[in-house]
Amino acid sequence: MKNNGSKSEAASDKMSSDKKMFGHTRVIDFMRLRMGATALSVLLLLGSVATLFINGINFGLDFTGGTLIELSYDKPANVAAVRNQLGQMGFNDAVAQEYGSANAVLIRIPGSESNATLSNQVARQLNAAYDGEITLKRVEFVGPQVGEQLRDQGGLGMLLALALVMLYIAFRFQYKFSLGAVIALGHDSLIVLGVFSLFGLQFDLTVLAAILAVVGYSLNDTIIVYDRVRENFRKVRRGTPVEIINISLSQTLGRTLATSGTTIMVLLALFFLGGDMIHNFAAALLVGVGVGTYSSIYIASNLLLYMNISREDLIVPVREDEVDDMP
């Protein structure tokens, strides 16, 4: 983002490897760390899979079915008393907790005991036993079959999105790119899932939406980099694939940081000011955008190298024949 290049130097397409300059862009040797990045990503992925196996995902009401009741008391609520009462009503597996403020209580009753009139019963009984005023702020009830259906639909949607995106990239770029992009975004969403599993954060429908948005964002990032890689492979005559990728990453670095910066800023605003209902949504996106930025630099391009990307992959066929000048 800084104007480092001195104006006196002539613009050229040539690499001057000792100064690590390409044109007027300082070239950073990102790929020097590619082994380290690979190791880190493999570690993160294995960690995510491990925690998914050990801790599982804390599925929210949307997916498990059950009843959720948010109550607002006129003075700080005694959660222990609420728990006690719920136990007396026969809901031994019900969970009651403070929600947002001391006056608000959130009650979750798992799927097995639920029917649609339950929420009103519980609210009425709690109200009767309390000498102040309780207002019912929010009720959610999801039948167990609906939850199952949503889970299936969500998974199906993910797969469909991946397939279509792969097709589009294969059509616009080349299949190695589409494989790289899809692996990179799989990497990102798996790590987000891993973080949610590790910290036991609630995974509901909005979080699923957030993960799909991460997919979109991560793709966006990756494609901007790939676009440059494609352009440079065609434009820069000399240079190994590693060098070309380093050049492309350096050229897009400013943009990558600026966009991630603005996105993370608004996400922080959402995280802190958006309220409890989209807290986890913002959290998923924050993790996702962070990982997405890393993966567009280190994973997506790195994968191209593992797939032995070469100039031939990107030659526009209609051009007059070009001499192979690969080293």
Partner 1 sequence: MNRYPLWKYLAIFLFVAIGAFYALPNLYPDDPAIQISGAGAATQVGETQLKRAVAALNAEGIAVKSTETSERGNSVLIRLTDNEDQLPAKAAVKEQLGHDYVVALNLAPTTPDWLLAFGATPMKLGLDLSGGVHFLLEVDSQKAVETRMNVYAGEIRTALRKERLRYRTVQGANPIAREFAFTDEATRDKARSLIIKEFPDLTTTADEDNGRFIVSATLGEQQVRDLEDYAIKQNLTTVRNRVNELGVSEPLVQRQGRKHIVVELPGVQDTAEAKRILGKTANLEFRLAAGFDAAPGTTDTFEFRSQPGRTANLQRDIIMTGDQVANARSNVDTQTGSPEVNISLDNRGGELMKRATRNNVGQGMAVLFIEQKFMGNRTETRMVDGTETEVSVPVYREEKKIISLATIQAVLGSNFRITGLDSRAESSELALLLRAGSLAAPMHFVEERTVGPSLGKENIRMGINSTLVGLALIVVFMLVVYRFFGLVANIALTLNLLLLVGMMSILGATLTMPGIAGIVLTLGMAVDANVLIFSRIREEVKNGKSPHKAIAEGFDRAFVSIFDANITTLIVGVILYAIGTGPVKGFAVTLSLGILTSMFTAILVSRAIVNITYGRRRQLKKLSI
What values do phi and psi take at 283, rounded to 5? -60, -45
Asked if 35 touches partner 1 (CB under 8 A), the answer is no
Classify burial at 313, counting beta carbons within 10 Å of its beta carbon; exposed 0-12, middle 13-18, buried 19 or more.
Answer: middle
Asked if 183 touches partner 1 (CB under 8 A), the answer is no
Asked if 304 touches partner 1 (CB under 8 A), the answer is no
**Please, what is the minimum distance in Å from the beta carbon of residue 20 to partner 1?**
16
Neighbours of 60 (CB within 10 A): 22
280-299 binders of partner 1 (CB under 8 A): 281-282, 285
By CB under 8 A, name the one of 223, 287, 299, 304 that touches partner 1.
223
108-127 binders of partner 1 (CB under 8 A): 111-113, 115-117, 119-120
Q: How far apart are the C-alpha atoms of 125 and 45, rounded to whole Å? A: 47
Closest CB to partner 1 among residues 32, 137: 137
Asked if 20 touches partner 1 (CB under 8 A), the answer is no
Interface with partner 1: number of residues (CB under 8 A): 84
**Please, what is the minimum distance in Å from the beta carbon of residue 105 to partner 1?**
14
Q: Which of 250, 257, 300 is nearest to 41 (CA)?
A: 300
By CB under 8 A, name the one of 33, 45, 79, 139 that touches partner 1.
139
Asked if 237 touches partner 1 (CB under 8 A), the answer is no
Please report, for residues 22, 25, 232, 254, the alpha-carbon distance to residue 3 in angstroms, rounded to integers and kept in the order given. Answer: 14, 9, 21, 11
**Please, what is the minimum distance in Å from the beta carbon of residue 124 to partner 1?**
8
48-56: long-range contacts, CB 8 A cutoff, minimum separation 24: 48/190, 48/191, 48/193, 48/194, 48/195, 48/197, 49/190, 49/194, 51/194, 51/197, 51/198, 52/193, 52/194, 52/197, 55/197, 55/198, 55/200, 56/197
**Please, what is the minimum distance in Å from the beta carbon of residue 46 to partner 1?**
24
Give me Rg for the CA atoms of the chain: 26
Q: How far apart are the C-alpha atoms of 104 and 122, rounded to whole Å? A: 15
Asked if 307 touches partner 1 (CB under 8 A), the answer is no
Asked if 326 touches partner 1 (CB under 8 A), the answer is no
**Please, what is the minimum distance in Å from the beta carbon of residue 255 to partner 1?**
5
Closest CB to partner 1 among residues 36, 274: 274
Closest CB to partner 1 among residues 90, 317: 90
83-86: long-range contacts, CB 8 A cutoff, minimum separation 24: 85/125, 85/126, 85/129, 86/122
By CB under 8 A, name the one of 38, 55, 58, 72 that touches partner 1.
72
Asked if 215 touches partner 1 (CB under 8 A), the answer is yes
Asked if 201 touches partner 1 (CB under 8 A), the answer is no
Q: How far apart are the C-alpha atoms of 217 and 241, rounded to whole Å? A: 26
Closest CB to partner 1 among residues 34, 287: 287
By CB under 8 A, name the one of 146, 170, 314, 315 that touches partner 1.
146
